[in-house]
Copies of this chain bind each other. A is one copy, B any other.
Amino acid sequence: MAEILSTLHARIRGDIEAKIMTGAWRPGFVVPPEHEIMLHYGCSRMTVNKAVSALARSGLVSRNRRAGTVVAKPPLHAGVLQIPDISHEIEARGGVYSYNCIHLELRNSGQCRFIRCLHFEDGVALMLEEREIFLHAIPEAGQVDFKSTPPGSWLMDHVAWTQAEHRISAHSAEGTVARHLGVPVGKACLVVERKTWRGPDTITHVQQFFRGDKFDLSARFSPTLPDC
């Protein structure tokens, strides 16, 4: 978590980042105005502006004149790799989304919740999901009713993460996956495996099996990350 403190603006930015990442400042929280931060650190406003502008560029806060600087809702993928909430995606293309939780259990002597569930489009199974959520990092997840709430949607709305790792591969569906998705054994599936961290703590680990004939991923971006 510790940032390099070599420069003042980096320290200010790091301090604010820490407040947000630890959850002390939740989404919607109004960050003190520049002149106040400036007094607190005994520095000029340009230095504060450099720090907070960087946070705005990276999407952690949003800034508005008069209304001030507000902690932003955690983005799922910062618009870089678009693997948004599947329910939104299905609804965006005019389908009817439904959810079915197949199996719930506690693992690792209660430290981890395991969820196996299906996501449907117009009543057809589109994706099988197997997910672990680590309660050490996200204790609130212990109380959530994942029988009715898709875990991905819940996490997206409640948890800020600092790093994610994806592995995308193609597999032929074997028995269990084929049965749940209702496809013949051997059918091509797109498999997305994702691990997400907050600082040093693993938040969640998920494997998603998409029907290859009904789903693909897309990503669009520029190398220059135009930030204004």
Name A's B-contacting residues (CB within 8 A): 10, 17, 46, 54, 57-60, 74-78, 80-81, 161-172, 186-191, 210, 212, 215-228
Residues from chain B with a CB closer than 8 A to the CB of A172 are: 186-188, 212
With A162-B224, A188-B188, A224-B162 known to touch, is A171 a contact of B212 (CB < 8 Å)?
yes
B75 touches A163 (CB 8 A): no
Residues from chain B with a CB closer than 8 A to the CB of A74 are: 223
Q: How far is the CB of A153 from chain B (nearest CB, A)?
A: 17
Residues from chain B with a CB closer than 8 A to the CB of A59 are: 223-225
A187 and B188 alpha carbons, distance in the complex (Å) = 7
Residue ID in chain B nearest A212 by CB atoms: B170
A190 and B76 alpha carbons, distance in the complex (Å) = 24
A155 and B171 alpha carbons, distance in the complex (Å) = 30
With A168-B216, A170-B189, A172-B212 known to touch, is A227 a contact of B54 (CB < 8 Å)?
yes
Residues from chain B with a CB closer than 8 A to the CB of A215 are: 169
B162 touches A217 (CB 8 A): no
Residues from chain B with a CB closer than 8 A to the CB of A165 are: 218-220
Residues from chain B with a CB closer than 8 A to the CB of A164 are: 220-223
Besides the contacts A54-B228, A58-B225, A76-B223, what 20 more A-B pairs have beta carbons closer than 8 Å?
Answer: A10-B228, A54-B227, A57-B225, A58-B226, A59-B225, A77-B223, A78-B224, A80-B81, A81-B81, A164-B222, A165-B218, A166-B220, A169-B190, A169-B215, A169-B216, A169-B217, A170-B170, A170-B189, A170-B212, A170-B216
